[in-house]
């Protein structure tokens, strides 16, 4: 037996320069950043205050950071694919097939699991406990563990760039292609271990948030007084709890096939490939709603706030959210109408799919009626919301078209399908993440983002989106399949070129976002949020200072209506003058359990990919040791004294009162 | 600086400014504020167990699909040994009973009987695992391992997954007994509750396996 399993120097792609240079660059940047952190003496701070933090706000920020970095990585893949196809007309392009296939696989995998999911989970982490009026999530240490397990998965995918290869079987590894017989290298194994590990993290997040939302709310906050975002987050996390175990089970079966010669999905031995397709989509369709439901919630908050009106049809919104939650489990077959289920079955699933569009339509009309008659402020978050409304409706309608089985037979696996899901995921989830970041940034960091650059980023993104995906819709209608390494149909060419122009517009939008961040940080004094309520918000997170103290609320708020903070402000005298009684607050201690677990998970994953058995066993034993150590601790909490709480809260009240005095003086002069 | 009073109805409630038919009369549930730690932990653990049951159901589904895909190999009727399965079932059901006894002892804060009941639970679990390992190794030695047919793949995966859960449960149990021994009940009361839930759920899943895999498989 070899000491390092299958790992050898040949695993490093010495003779293909692209991944080597890219990987080398990334490693160099990481080393540079790490060196700067250590040399500048930031390591203790980073370790104590961030890496080991169990504070939901910090965990949320780290999730968002992870999501942004990985989205950037996925975007690099997108540039490669678009430019490659522009060259690949009656030619080979510049990416050999085995490399092109890795790129579309890693693009999809990264964007869904390590881009969109961390962005949505990060925003939920930051906002939900604040909106519920509580001090943290139900299980703070598990929350940190979720983060680091997700990061471990992301790390494995990135390691595959330089050590070995990544999967070439698509973002959902359909057998038999993904079986050992046809994918003998480590690519699919990287995919499997990355997703098995991060999947556990996501599941724990789901459990954590379901428990938090159902069992931890400020006094007076009945179910029908929760913000819309809390409702959609609840639905999304219920879907995680119900769907992610199916993903884990399916991937475990494929892993057993590949590692121990099982016959779940193999062609030989009586295996059943269609079972994989069914199982993976029984998770996969709920997954798209896991992603988009929180975005719906974000838009609900934003549209109501910037229209200066309560959300229209709150109860119908709640019903629609839960409706989507249930129906999303009844439509999975629309992803494989063409795979022989027969007319009757196809018809049933086609109709069920269209029903989802009806329920989603309820939401769209509620948003429109929220704006109707409101005083609308066109700030960046609101622009994203409006962009979302228009764009997402188009995506929904192409979805309904695909839900008609005869039409789907023509469009399945064409670029039309690719345009459909990018339309819903970019127009819904990504716009939602950007809107949420712009909206809650001042809450997280104490200053607003620069408006002008935000508006520029928005318009470039919109332009880029349509420039890329309208051509892809059209070329899909002309019959171009997805994932083509080269092609020789002349009539497809112009559309592919147009889409390439679009991807560069995306690049411009990205630069605008970076500039926005830099400019905002430099002008932070001017953009400072002194009141904690920069947008005239309506839910409880705006009752805290920006950034909120570690304990969120100095005094546990009591809720009297559907829009708790609006209510508080209307009873403004109470909120300005009565301090309430400060008490000492107990908070969970920061601890390294999450980080260490993530570390050992990465080690185990890597060892399993390369079949270094002793290392995998070592990792497992170490993980068990961490578990015992964690279980053995005596004082899991620390106390913040009543005086400290009072000091922080009084400072906030003072700053808010000063702001109010300044602004009412101005008002009097006018 | 003047404050504008919110318009209110005669009852002191704000009126419905946009005539949406919404007042703050909606009370819903959960007015009492965050639940106690005990409720939160037990509830969270229940949600975890539900997710675990979903994972098992995927393997049950796979077994249902593949149970006739024997690839001309042996069927359940030729392979299963009903008497061993009966003893296994007996061990597990008895261990669930003693696990319940440990909860009774814990409620009475009786350390000795808690430990004793947990020990018997662990030993019965160990006996179950031993029997299962014996069954598996015997089958593999006879060349009817999981790589023989899709039916056997699903059998080994489903039953093995349950076995792995029992194994992890035993590790957890051992850790808790050590902790009880060193520190007393102190900080692990809630974990004992969670372990009870876990162990009973494993029992329920075993009953399903017994029925779906062994009884129905025996009839084929
Ligand atoms: C408005 C309701 C929607 C309908 C009626 C709908 C319908 C469909 C249908 C029929 C397909 C299968 C097409 C095919 O493979 O030929 C599909 C694929 C897909 N949709 Fe949607 N969809 C809707 C909303 C969404 C949303 C909200 C998302 C994501 C946030 C989404 C993401 C996807 C993805 C990722 C795929 C396929 C990915 C793949 O095959 O690799 N869809 N949709
Ligand atoms: Cu779907």
Q: Give me the DSSP letters along A502-549.
A: HHHHHHHHHHHHHHHHHHHHHTTTTTB-SSS-TT---SGGGGS-SSPP
- Atom 12 (ligand 1) nearest CA: A335
B-interface mutation test, from A145, A204, A263, A574, most B Cβ less than 10 A away: A263
Residue contact B58–A139, C-beta within 8 A: no
- Atom 29 (ligand 1) nearest CA: A288
Residue contact A260–B147, C-beta within 8 A: yes
Annotated active-site residue A178? The verdict is no
B-interface mutation test, from A270, A587, A632, A668, most B Cβ less than 10 A away: A270
User: Greatest CA span in chain A, whole angstroms?
Assistant: 86
Residue contact A567–B24, C-beta within 8 A: yes
Strand partners, A640: A585
How many whole angstroms from B153 Cα to the centroid of ligand 2?
A: 29
Proximal ligand: closest to the CA of A421: 1
Sketch out chain A's domains with CATH numbers.
Answer: 42-591+633-666 (1.20.210.10)
Annotated active-site residue A287? The verdict is yes
How many whole angstroms from A422 Cα to the centroid of ligand 2?
A: 13
- SS3 for A481? strand
- Which pLDDT score is estimated for A628? 87
Of B3, B26, B55, Cβ closest to residue A222: B26
User: Cβ of B175 under 8 Å from any chain A Cβ?
Assistant: yes
Question: What is the dihedral angle through the alpha carbons of B119, B123, B129, B131, rounded to the nearest 10 degrees?
Answer: -170
Does B84 score more than 60 pLDDT? yes
CB-CB contact of A508 with A468 (8 Å): no
Instruction: Report, as ranges of residue numbers, the positions in chain A whose pLDDT lies below 70.
Output: 1, 567-579, 635-636, 665-670
What residues of chain A lie within 8 A of the CB of B162, using their CB?
none
- SS3 for A599? helix
CATH topology of domain B37-218: 1.20.120
How many whole angstroms from A332 Cα to the centroid of ligand 2?
A: 6
Residue contact A250–B58, C-beta within 8 A: yes
Phi, psi of B14, rounded to the nearest 5 degrees: -65, 140
Of A138, A219, A660, Cβ closest to residue B40: A138
Structure letter (DSSP) for residue A637 = E
CB-CB contact of A167 with A104 (8 Å): no
Nearest CA to CA, how far is A215 from chain B (Å)?
Answer: 6
Chains A, B: CB contacts within 8 A come to: 173
Annotated active-site residue A593? The verdict is no
Proximal ligand: closest to the CA of A108: 1
pLDDT tens track for B42-70: 999 999 999 999 999 999 999 999 999 99
For A261-328, what is the HEC assignment? CCCCCCCCCCCCHHHHHHHHHHHHHHHHHHHHHHHHHHHHHHHHHHCCCCCCCHHHHHHHHHHHHHHC
Question: What is the dihedral angle through the alpha carbons of A442, A443, A445, A447, rounded to the nearest 10 degrees?
Answer: 30
Annotated active-site residue A227? The verdict is no
Residue contact A207–B187, C-beta within 8 A: no
Annotated active-site residue A205? The verdict is yes
Of A222, A250, A373, Cβ closest to residue B29: A222
Proximal ligand: closest to the CA of A357: 1
User: Cβ of B143 under 8 Å from any chain A Cβ?
Assistant: no
CB-CB contact of A603 with A615 (8 Å): yes
Nearest to A311 by CA among A359, A369, A358, A364: A369
Nearest CA to CA, how far is A241 from chain B (Å)?
Answer: 5
Six token digits for residue A417: 């399908």
pLDDT above 90 coverage of chain B, percent: 71
CB contact burial A13-50 (16+ within 10 A = b; e otherwise):
beeeeebeeebeeeeeeeeeeeeeeeeeeeeeeeeeeb
Distance in angstroms (rounded) separating the CA atoms of residues B213 and B210:
6
Domain extent listing, chain B = 37-218
The question of ipTM being above 0.90 is answered as yes
- Which pLDDT score is estimated for B23? 41
Nearest CA to CA, how far is B193 from chain A (Å)?
Answer: 15
Residue contact A263–B6, C-beta within 8 A: no
Q: How far is CA B118 from CA A45, A297, A629, B125, B166, in A?
A: 44, 46, 21, 10, 14
How many whole angstroms from A284 Cα to the centroid of ligand 2?
A: 7
Residue contact B54–A241, C-beta within 8 A: yes
What residues of chain B lie within 8 A of the CB of A208, using their CB?
44
User: Cβ of B174 under 8 Å from any chain A Cβ?
Assistant: no
What residues of chain A lie within 8 A of the CB of B44, using their CB?
138-139, 207-208, 211
Annotated active-site residue A10? The verdict is no
Q: Which residues contact A634 (CB under 8 A, 6 or more apart)?
A: B187
Annotated active-site residue A107? The verdict is no
Nearest CA to CA, how far is B87 from chain A (Å)?
Answer: 28
Q: Which residues 59-78 in chain B show a CB within 8 A of chain A?
A: 59, 61-62, 65-66, 69-71
Does B9 score more than 50 pLDDT? no
Which atom of ligand 1 is least distant from the CA of A360?
1
- Residue in chain B nearest A213 by alpha carbon: B34
Q: Which residues 91-130 in chain B show a CB within 8 A of chain A?
A: none
Could you say which of A211, A248, A272, A316 is catalytic? A316
Nearest CA to CA, how far is A189 from chain B (Å)?
Answer: 19
Phi, psi of A403, rounded to the nearest 5 degrees: -75, -5
Annotated active-site residue A486? The verdict is no
Q: Which residues contact A431 (CB under 8 A, 6 or more apart)?
A: A295, A384, A385, A387, A388, A391, A461
What residues of chain A lie within 8 A of the CB of B25, using their CB?
none
Nearest CA to CA, how far is B134 from chain A (Å)?
Answer: 19
How many whole angstroms from B7 Cα to the centroid of ligand 1?
A: 47
Proximal ligand: closest to the CA of A408: 1
Residue contact B39–A215, C-beta within 8 A: yes
Cis peptide before B31 (omega within 30 of 0): no
Does B29 score more than 90 pLDDT? no
- Which pLDDT score is estimated for A434? 97
Could you say which of A101, A136, A541, A649 is catalytic? A136
Residue contact A223–B191, C-beta within 8 A: no
CB-CB contact of A234 with A208 (8 Å): no
A-interface mutation test, from B9, B12, B54, most A Cβ less than 10 A away: B54
Distance in angstroms (rounded) separating the CA atoms of residues A570 and A88:
63
Does B146 score more than 50 pLDDT? yes
CB-based pocket (< 6 A), ligand 1? A 288, 291-292, 334-335, 353, 356-357, 360, 396, 399-400, 402-403, 408, 411-412, 417, 420-421, 424-425, 428-429
User: Cβ of B39 under 8 Å from any chain A Cβ?
Assistant: yes
- Which pLDDT score is estimated for A588? 86
Of B34, B62, B151, Cβ closest to residue A275: B62
Q: Which residues contact B93 (CB under 8 A, 6 or more apart)?
A: B203
In degrees, to the nearest 5, what angle opens at C-alpha A550 toward C-alphas A548 and A552? Answer: 50
Distance in angstroms (rounded) separating the CA atoms of residues A430 and A391:
12
């Amino acid at each position: 037996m070899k000491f390092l399993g299958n790992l050898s120097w040949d695993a490093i792609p010495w003779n293909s320069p692209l991944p080597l240079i890219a990987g080398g660059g990334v490693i160099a940047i990481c080393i540079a950043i790490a060196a700067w952190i250590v040399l500048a003496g930031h390591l203790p701070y980073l370790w104590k205050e961030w890496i080991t933090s169990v504070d939901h706000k910090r965990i949320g920020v780290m999730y968002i950071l992870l999501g942004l970095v990985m989205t950037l990585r996925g975007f690099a893949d997108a540039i490669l694919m678009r430019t490659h196809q522009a060259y690949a007309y009656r030619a080979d392009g510049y990416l050999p097939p085995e490399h092109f296939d890795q790129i579309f696989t890693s693009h999809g995998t990264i964007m869904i699991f390590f881009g969109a999911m961390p962005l949505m989970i990060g925003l939920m982490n930051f906002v939900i406990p604040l909106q519920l009026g509580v001090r943290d999530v139900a299980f703070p240490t598990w929350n940190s563990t979720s983060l680091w397990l997700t990061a471990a998965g992301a790390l494995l995918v990135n390691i595959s760039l330089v050590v070995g290869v990544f999967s070439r079987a698509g973002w959902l590894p359909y057998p038999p292609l993904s079986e050992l017989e046809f994918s003998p290298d480590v690519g699919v194994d990287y995919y499997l271990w990355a997703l098995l590990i991060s999947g556990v993290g996501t599941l724990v997040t789901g459990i954590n948030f379901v428990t938090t939302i159902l069992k931890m709310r400020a006094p007076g906050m009945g179910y029908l007084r929760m913000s819309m975002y809390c409702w959609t987050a609840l639905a999304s996390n219920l879907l995680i709890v119900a769907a992610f175990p199916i993903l884990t089970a399916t991937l475990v079966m494929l892993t057993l096939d590949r590692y121990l010669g099982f016959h779940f999905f193999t062609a030989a031995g009586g295996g059943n490939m269609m079972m994989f397709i069914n199982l993976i989509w029984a998770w996969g369709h709920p997954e798209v709603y896991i992603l988009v439901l929180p975005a719906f919630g974000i838009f609900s908050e934003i549209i109501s706030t910037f229209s200066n009106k309560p959300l229209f049809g709150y109860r119908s919104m709640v019903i629609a959210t839960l409706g989507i939650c249930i129906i999303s489990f009844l439509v999975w077959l629309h992803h494989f109408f063409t795979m022989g289920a027969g007319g009757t079955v196809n018809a049933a699933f086609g109709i069920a799919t269209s029903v989802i569009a009806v329920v989603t339509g309820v939401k769209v009309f509620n948003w429109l009626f929220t704006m109707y008659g409101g005083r609308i402020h066109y700030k960046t978050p609101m622009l994203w919301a409006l962009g979302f409304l228009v764009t997402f409706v188009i995506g929904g309608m192409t979805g309904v078209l695909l839900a008609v089985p005869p039409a789907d037979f023509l469009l399945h696996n064409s670029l039309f399908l690719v345009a459909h899901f990018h339309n819903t995921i970019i127009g819904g989830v990504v716009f939602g993440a950007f809107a949420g970041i712009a909206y809650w940034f001042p809450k997280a960091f104490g200053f607003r983002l620069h408006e002008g650059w935000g508006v520029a980023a928005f318009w470039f993104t919109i332009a880029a989106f349509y420039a890329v995906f309208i051509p892809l819709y059209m070329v899909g209608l002309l019959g171009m399949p997805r994932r083509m390494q080269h092609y020789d149909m002349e009539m497809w060419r112009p559309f592919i070129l147009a889409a390439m122009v679009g991807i560069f517009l995306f690049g411009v939008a990205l630069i605008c976002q970076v500039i926005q961040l830099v400019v905002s940080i430099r002008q932070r004094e001017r953009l400072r949020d002194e009141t904690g309520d920069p947008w005239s918000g309506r839910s409880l997170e705006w009752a805290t200072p920006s950034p909120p103290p570690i304990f969120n609320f100095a005094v546990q708020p009591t809720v009297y209506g559907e829009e708790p903070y609006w209510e508080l402000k209307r009873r403004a005298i109470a909120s300005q003058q009565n301090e309430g009684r400060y008490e000492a607050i107990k908070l969970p201690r920061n601890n390294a359990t999450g980080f260490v677990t993530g570390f050992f998970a990465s080690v185990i994953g890597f060892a399993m990919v390369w079949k270094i058995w002793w290392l995998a066993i070592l990792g497992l034993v170490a993980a068990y040791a961490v578990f015992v150590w964690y279980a053995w601790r005596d004082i899991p909490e620390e106390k913040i004294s009543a005086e400290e709480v009072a000091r922080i809260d009084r400072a906030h009240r003072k700053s808010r009162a000063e702001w109010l005095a300044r602004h009412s003086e101005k008002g009097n002069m006018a | 600086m003047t404050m504008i009073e919110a318009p209110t109805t005669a009852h002191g409630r704000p009126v419905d400014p946009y005539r949406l038919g919404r007042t703050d009369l909606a009370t819903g549930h959960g007015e009492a504020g965050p639940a106690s730690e005990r409720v939160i932990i037990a509830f969270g653990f229940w949600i975890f167990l539900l997710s675990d049951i979903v994972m098992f159901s995927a393997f049950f589904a796979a077994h249902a699909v593949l149970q006739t895909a024997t690839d001309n190999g042996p069927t359940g009727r030729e392979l299963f040994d009903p008497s061993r399965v009966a003893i296994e079932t007996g061990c597990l059901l008895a261990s669930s009973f003693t696990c319940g006894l440990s909860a009774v002892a814990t409620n009475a804060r009786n350390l000795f009987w808690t430990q004793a009941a947990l020990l018997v639970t662990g030993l019965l679990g160990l006996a179950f695992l031993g029997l299962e390992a014996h069954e598996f190794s015997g089958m593999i030695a006879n060349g009817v391992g999981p790589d023989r047919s899709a039916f056997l793949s699903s059998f080994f995966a489903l039953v093995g997954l349950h076995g792995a859960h029992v194994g992890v449960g035993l590790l957890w149990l051992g850790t808790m007994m050590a902790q009880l021994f060193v520190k007393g009940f102190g900080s692990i009361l809630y974990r004992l509750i969670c372990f009870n839930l876990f162990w009973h759920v494993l029992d329920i899943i075993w009953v399903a396996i017994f029925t779906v895999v062994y009884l129905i498989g025996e009839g084929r």
